[in-house]
Amino acid sequence: MTDSTSRGNELTINGERLWASLMEMAEIGATEKGGVCRLALSDVDKAGRDLFVQWCEAAGCTVTVDRIGNIFARRPGRDDSLPAVMSGSHLDSQPTGGKFDGAYGVLAALEAVRALNDAGVETLRPIEIVSWTNEEGSRFPPAMMGSGVYAGAFGLEATLAETDEDGAVTVGAELERIGYAGLDPVGGRAVHAYFEAHIEQGPILEAEEKTIGVVTAIQGIRWFDCRITGMEAHAGPTPMDVRKDALLGASRLVDRINHIALDHGPDGRTTVGTFRIHPGSRNVIPGSVELSVDMRHPDAEALASMAVALQNAVDAVCAEIGLDGALDEIWYSPPTPFDPTCVDAVRRAAAETGGAHRDITSGAGHDAKYMADLGPTAMVFIPCKDGISHNEIESAEPVHITAGGNVLLRAIVEKAEEPG
Amino acid sequence: MTDSTSRGNELTINGERLWASLMEMAEIGATEKGGVCRLALSDVDKAGRDLFVQWCEAAGCTVTVDRIGNIFARRPGRDDSLPAVMSGSHLDSQPTGGKFDGAYGVLAALEAVRALNDAGVETLRPIEIVSWTNEEGSRFPPAMMGSGVYAGAFGLEATLAETDEDGAVTVGAELERIGYAGLDPVGGRAVHAYFEAHIEQGPILEAEEKTIGVVTAIQGIRWFDCRITGMEAHAGPTPMDVRKDALLGASRLVDRINHIALDHGPDGRTTVGTFRIHPGSRNVIPGSVELSVDMRHPDAEALASMAVALQNAVDAVCAEIGLDGALDEIWYSPPTPFDPTCVDAVRRAAAETGGAHRDITSGAGHDAKYMADLGPTAMVFIPCKDGISHNEIESAEPVHITAGGNVLLRAIVEKAEEPG
């Protein structure tokens, strides 16, 4: 083996091998519509884990499992006492998931290790491929379970006691059953850097014909419940000027909420995703509307400003029509800015490998969100067809799969050569 | 007896007797919350009919029943060969109905006859008090059944074959069972005039402190189903400028629909009463919205103009956002302008009896709508508390009950003295 410093610019992954591994993994839990159903801690999750472990061991890695079932496959460094560069994602899927969400990040990290093996390159620092337990949260809440426990966001024992929707079985019991209740403590190790490759799950890269998204941050999210209350009345006999039409107020609110995003730059996002009117009768003026508001922004101050604007919008539309408005914030997930040196490493790797790239923020949560609490972190996005994810028709191009893998490899190597 | 011409301006009803009759009738089917449940052709409907018939016979009237169960109580005129002045309404109620909706119009007409009896006044034309079968349509469709068959809007045999929601029993069988399957043909008699007294079921008279509404027309109604279709997408990763948010489009449409009413004068009414979004998930941009539109106006041309404006609004909001819009008209009930001479008679009676009054249109349907197809027709409205109807808390003031009865009496007498 040589060290990687002299060869970093020549290293490339084997895109065909990565694609073949993705397709082989996608057979485990394959659905008729071409997707994947590999729910966390199910028999098919076990089968996926087993295949991953087999591949890692074949690549010369030492595999360990911690108490929440996270799998770590370690490739030693020249100085194996230095904190590792970690990279991975998750192998579990949504009930109607696709082939790439999660699996791509795990297998791209594996491919990076395979490529280093092929090139006979030894890095200064160890590299750990990681497969996090239950990122989707479809079967057991919460989402990003394994990385969240690893980063200390969730308690281990409480998480092991989480039950599925039926209350029939716990996380701990299922880990035991599938043989992935590891003995290692969860977390507690220094992380030099963490990189995660993922499909974008959005339309930007495809629309702009970019190959690589250099992910600078995960958006912060504020969730609100809002209730607009007016007065039910008969549609026929009630003149317009005496109505207290809750739907009219809520409708104006939706338009204003849309403007709040536009007023906060290209990274602002607002969505009203649920909207229920009462009583919901064709000839009755609606008396109340309940709606949800999802606000996202990568900048915490901007997100706070959006929340203020939302309260002002509720007050304004209610005052216009004589309605009552109630607004409750039910969840806040702060923005997660990624580490500038890790982001630079990704951007540089993208530039060096010649892929068209742009900075981007992640609108969805990822395991990288929790890893950013533990050490320098960044992500690599590649396009997915029509921005569709969490769907069996989720699709990505081999050329993008390969390009993302090469960017991930270079970023990992750059960080893995940083001295202690 | 004397004839009424010399005494028309002195005639008054006995308000206490009318109130007492209303309260006695309200005991039949009385609900715990102070309302009435007297569903058409039920045992309590039979009890209400029996009481009404008993009262009419006590007032010297000849009672007949037609094949759809409409009850006519005839007070002879000086020339009994002339077409009668008819007045009435209905005794059936909504499942959670009030004491006044329908019963007031029947018992105010009865009180007019009683008052004429008390005064010893004989009118030129006969007067017929009528109680129409199944105005509400709650148990058997359609609403305004008895008057609709009487006016030829519905076929008799098909209507007798209508079943309740369970399909368990027909109108005809229930009429037989309660003893109101009459032998008389339905309709076919000339009507000199028809007057119907009713609570407003709206807020206008109460808000303006008017005692009497001189009803000039029943609004026309157009009902539409509208579907706005965009594209579902994740709330996080999808930038605002590429979204096709069906809820945003539908919300803007609601505001425009509100403006369509305002653009068509004080009598224009528009209501979006049902509004369902899909998929209705907090972090998914809505892909489609289905909504209903109820448009009303007493003028057919204005109502047609409102329909054109609606299509234009759908087209405009869809073009703004890149959505698809589908609009289907599912029902049209043309406006029913009332007869000017009958309306004048009501207005004159209101002025003479000193009640504060205003012209008003009816936003809801009434038996008078079908009677207007057969002969000169008008209605008398009185205020109801908070505009509330079809509710057990429906309420009206004795002073308004009396005032409306006096207006009805004078209008009936004026028309009943018109020569043949």
Q: pLDDT (tens digit, 0 to 9) for every residue of chain A, 420 residues total? A: 555 444 445 799 999 999 999 999 999 999 999 999 999 999 999 999 999 999 999 999 999 999 999 999 999 999 999 999 999 999 999 998 999 999 999 999 999 999 999 999 999 999 999 999 999 998 998 999 999 999 999 999 999 999 998 889 999 999 999 999 999 999 999 999 999 999 999 999 999 999 999 999 999 999 999 999 999 888 998 999 999 999 999 999 999 999 999 999 899 999 999 999 999 988 899 999 999 999 999 999 999 999 999 999 999 999 999 999 999 999 899 999 999 999 999 999 999 998 899 999 998 899 999 999 999 999 999 999 988 888 888 899 999 999 999 999 999 999 999 998
Q: Name the token pair of A172.
A: 């701990």
The A residues from 315 to 374 touching B (CB cutoff 8 Å) are: 362-364
Domains, chain B, ranges and CATH?
A: 2-218+335-416 (3.40.630.10), 220-333 (3.30.70.360)
Closest CA to A265 of A302, A300, A312, A293: A302
Is B210 in a helix, a strand, or coil? coil
Which DSSP state fits A139?
Answer: S
* Cα A330 to Cα A335, B282, B301, distances in angstroms: 16, 12, 50
Q: What is the CA radius of gyration of chain B?
A: 24
At residue B74, φ and ψ (nearest 5 deg) are -100, 130
A218 neighbors A362 (Cβ within 8 angstroms):
yes
Lowest mean pLDDT among A165-174, B20-29, B72-81: A165-174
Closest CA to B271 of B363, B334, B203, B206: B363
Yes or no, beta carbons of A270 and B236 under 8 Å apart: no
Yes or no, beta carbons of B237 and A204 under 8 Å apart: yes
Question: Residue A27 is inside which H or E element, if any?
Answer: none
Q: Name the token pair of A185.
A: 């403590």
pLDDT of residue A233: 87
Closest to B271 (Cβ–Cβ): which among A258, A285, A390? A285
Question: How would you label A266-305 residue by residue, b for 16+ Cβ within 10 Å and e otherwise?
Answer: ebbbbbbbbbbbbeebbbbbbbbbbbbbbbbbbbeebbeb
Closest CA to B13 of B377, B412, B416: B412
pLDDT of residue B96: 87
B115 neighbors B70 (Cβ within 8 angstroms):
no
Yes or no, beta carbons of A251 and B248 under 8 Å apart: no
Per DSSP, what are the bridge partners of residue A380?
A: A197, A214
pLDDT of residue B6: 47
pLDDT of residue A395: 92
Closest CA to B95 of B134, B138, B34: B138
Q: Where does the pLDDT of residue B121 fall: very low under 50, low under 70, confident under 90, or very high at 90 and above?
A: very high
A116 neighbors A14 (Cβ within 8 angstroms):
no
Tell which of A94, A215, A251 to mutate to test the B interface (max B CBs under 10 Å): A251
Rounded Cα–Cα distance for residues A22 and B92 (Å): 70
For residue A292, list chain B residues with Cβ-Cβ distance below 8 A: 282
At residue A243, φ and ψ (nearest 5 deg) are -75, 150
Residue B49 is which amino acid? R
B69 neighbors B181 (Cβ within 8 angstroms):
yes
Rounded Cα–Cα distance for residues B82 and B123 (Å): 11
Closest CA to A120 of A75, A63, A72: A75
pTM, two decimal places: 0.85
Q: B248 in contact with A at a CB cutoff of 8 Å?
A: yes
B201 neighbors B135 (Cβ within 8 angstroms):
no
Q: A251 in contact with B at a CB cutoff of 8 Å?
A: yes
Question: How would you label A351-379 residue by residue, b for 16+ Cβ within 10 Å and e otherwise?
Answer: eebebebeebbbbbbbbbbbbbebbbbbb
Closest CA to B261 of A315, A242, A161: A242
Tens of pLDDT, residues B199-256 = 999 999 999 999 999 999 999 999 999 999 999 888 998 999 999 999 999 999 999 9
pLDDT exceeds 70 at position B1: no
Rounded Cα–Cα distance for residues B256 and A80 (Å): 68
- DSSP letters along A205-274, please? HHHTT-SEEEEEEEPEEEEEEEEEE-B-EETTTS-GGG-B-HHHHHHHHHHHHHHHHHTT-TT-EEE---
Tokens 């009118």 locate to B123
B35 neighbors B23 (Cβ within 8 angstroms):
no
Yes or no, beta carbons of B234 and A261 under 8 Å apart: no
pLDDT of residue B10: 77
Tens of pLDDT, residues B154-199 = 999 999 999 998 889 999 999 999 999 999 999 999 999 999 999 9
Which DSSP state fits B282?
Answer: T
Residue A267 is which amino acid? D
Chain-centre distance for alpha carbon A359: 17
Is B269 in a helix, a strand, or coil? strand
Interface A-B, measured as beta-carbon pairs within 8 A, has a size of 185
Rounded Cα–Cα distance for residues B112 and B407 (Å): 10
Burial class (CB in 10 A: 0-12, 13-18, 19+), B95: middle
Q: Where does the pLDDT of residue B3 fall: very low under 50, low under 70, confident under 90, or very high at 90 and above?
A: low
Q: Name the token pair of B96.
A: 């959670």
Which DSSP state fits B244?
Answer: B
For residue B282, list chain A residues with Cβ-Cβ distance below 8 A: 223, 273-274, 292, 294
Rounded Cα–Cα distance for residues B25 and B339 (Å): 31
pLDDT of residue A6: 47
Rounded Cα–Cα distance for residues A101 and B331 (Å): 48
Rounded Cα–Cα distance for residues B303 and B294 (Å): 11
For residue B221, list chain A residues with Cβ-Cβ distance below 8 A: 236
Section B277-304 average pLDDT: 95
- In B, minimum Cα distance to A362 occurs at B237
Q: Name the token pair of B249.
A: 């489009």
Residue B36 neighbours by CB under 8 Å, 6+ apart = B26, B28, B29, B30, B93, B97, B98, B99, B103, B392
pLDDT of residue B99: 96
Rounded to the nearest 5 percent, the helix, strand and coil shares of chain B are 35, 25, 40
Beta strands in B168-299 (DSSP E): 191-199, 212-218, 220-229, 233-234, 269-271, 275-278, 284-285, 288-297
Q: A212 to chain B, minimum CA–CA distance in Å?
A: 15
Rounded Cα–Cα distance for residues A154 and A105 (Å): 23
pLDDT of residue B188: 92
**Secondary structure, 3-state, A37-106:** CCCCCCHHHHHHHHHHHHHHHHCCCEEEEECCCCEEEEECCCCCCCCEEEEEEECCCCCCECCCCCHHHH
